[in-house]
Amino acid sequence: MLDINFLRENPDAVKENIRKKFQDEKIELVDQIIELDKQFRAAKVQADDLRSSQNKLSKQIGMLKAQGKEDEIEKVKAEIAEIPAKLAELEKIEKETESKRTELMMVIPNIIDPSVPIGKDDSENVEVERFGEPAVPDFEVPYHVDIMEKVNGIDIDSARSTSGNGFYYLCGDIAQLQSCILSYARDFMIDKGFTYYIPPFMIRSNVVTGVMSFAEMEGMMYKIEGEDLYLIGTSEHSMIGKFIDTITPEEELPKTLTSYSPCFRKEVGAHGIEERGVYRIHQFEKQEMVVVCKPEESMDWFHKLYSYTVEFFRSLDIPVRTLECCSGDLADLKVKSIDVEAWSPRQKKYFEVGSCSNLGDAQARRLNIKVKGADKKKYFAHTLNNTVVAPPRMLIAFLENNLNEDGSIRIPKALQPYMRKELIKVPEKNK
């Protein structure tokens, strides 16, 4: 959410930012917010004047009593008697205009960083850099579900019976592989100096609306029936929520946190074959990184965070590239975002396995996350988040890039201490 003072003083800049995000239907909201803001401030000034007048008149009664001026006292009392009704009306206007102003402010997109490329959608995202040599083996790479089934590592049919589409059972070596990848990711981030967390997997609605836009919320979150609780779509939600209504001394920043959680998402819409299997599902696990820092440090942290993900994937012999998200592909709260994409030998292209985002002070404003500076002044923190690894998608890249022709799967050196083996073998009956 933008600072109302910024919007009030820079309406043209806010409108131009909306145009850059190709959300022209929101431009008229800026003028509506400015008008509501005028009404709110006018009502507040009048209400404050009335309260001041009420106090002065009350004091005047005491003075008139001392002077024995009973007739004038009655006149003053009559004036005071009229104030509560007028004040109640002004307070009602204040409340209504402030509420409506906030409601509209919540859908105005954050000001994007000047470095963000301008484009309508993800087709106009811009490649930044490649890491590792993308290779295609001289044998056919099967669909990832077929790779898993050959080593008895997945059961989709049973999950469809128990839970419906978008679920699966992982088993045997593949289930162990996922757990080991998460354990390695945890230790990888701890070695980077991050504090490990396992957060709540459900959060209240005020936290949901604090960390994401209404459009994202509607398309992602599962609501717990009859309770003010939602299942998290990523641990970032509860990790940022951890700081709601807090004031952190500046010297304690940055807060660098890495968190594990299961994640739950609606994933609304129909998808093609490459998004079936374990690519786009309703439940998965994830290791996340979150930073709360001073505004002047957030861009430095942004570059550090996505570089950690690149380093993590390269340690597992997976080629990756970074892709700058264009203006039209940025969620409304984001200032800047870079996706990390892994190479798929089967599809002969890269696909998204993680996303790093700088949200500026948008989440901090919504959740009232403040910092106290050395001069005792308070200001809003900046928040960032980035995927270390989300094994369902990462598993696809891992399996395809470490697959042998006979269907066995190589275990990279970094993961061998966790898996306690160098190879996932194909059972004799499946050869």
Task: Walk me through the domains of the chain, giving residue ranges and CATH numbers.
Answer: 4-105 (1.10.287.40), 122-430 (3.30.930.10)
424 Cβ neighbours under 8 A, 6+ residues apart: 151, 153, 173, 174, 177, 408, 409, 411
Bond prior to 254 in cis (omega within 30° of 0): yes
pLDDT at 273: 46
- % of the chain with per-residue pLDDT over 90: 80
pLDDT at 71: 67
Phi, psi (deg, nearest 5) at residue 8? -60, -40
Where do we find the tokens 């890491």? 131
**Could you list the mean pLDDT of each consecutive 10-residue stretch along the chain, which spans 431 residues?**
94 98 97 97 93 81 70 75 88 95 94 97 96 95 95 93 90 96 98 98 94 77 93 94 97 98 76 56 92 98 98 97 97 96 96 96 96 96 96 92 96 97 94 81
**DSSP code of residue 133:** -
pLDDT at 113: 97
C-alpha span between 325 and 126 (Å, rounded): 7
Give the burial class of 310: count Cβ atoms within 10 A of its Cβ; 0-12 exposed, 13-18 middle, 19 or more buried.
buried
pLDDT at 272: 47
Handedness of CA 384, 390, 396, 401 (dihedral sign): positive
410 Cβ neighbours under 8 A, 6+ residues apart: 317, 402, 403, 404, 422, 423
Q: What is the pTM of this model?
A: 0.89
C-alpha span between 123 and 325 (Å, rounded): 9
C-alpha span between 244 and 246 (Å, rounded): 6
pLDDT at 69: 67
pLDDT at 372: 97
Q: In what side-by-side order are the strands of the sheet with 378-380?
A: 246-249, 369-372, 378-380
